Amino acid sequence: GIQSFCKDLLEVADILERATESIPKEEIKDDNPHLKSLYEGLVMTEVQIQKVFKKHGLLRLDPLGAKFDPYEHEALFHTPMEGKEPGTIALVSKIGYKLHGRTLRPALVGVVKEA
Q: Where are the domains of the chain?
A: 1-56, 59-114
pTM, to two decimals: 0.85
Give the relative orientation of helices 33-55 and 2-22 as an angle to the nearest 10 degrees. 150
Residue spans of the chain under pLDDT 70:
none
Are 97 and 63 in contact by the 8 Å Cβ rule? The answer is no
* DSSP type of residue 10: H
Q: How confident is the model at residue 2, as a pLDDT?
A: 83
Bridge partners for 105 per DSSP? 97
Contacts of 87 (CB under 8 A, 6+ apart): 67, 68, 111, 112
- Please give the Cα distance from 63 to 30 (Å, whole number): 35
Residues 38 and 105: their CA atoms lie apart, in Å, by: 29
d(CA 104, CA 71): 10
Predicted confidence (pLDDT) per residue in 93-111, tens digit: 999 999 999 999 999 999 9
pLDDT of residue 71: 96
Predicted pLDDT of residue 69: 97
Q: Give CATH superfamily name and number for 59-114.
A: Head domain of nucleotide exchange factor GrpE (2.30.22.10)
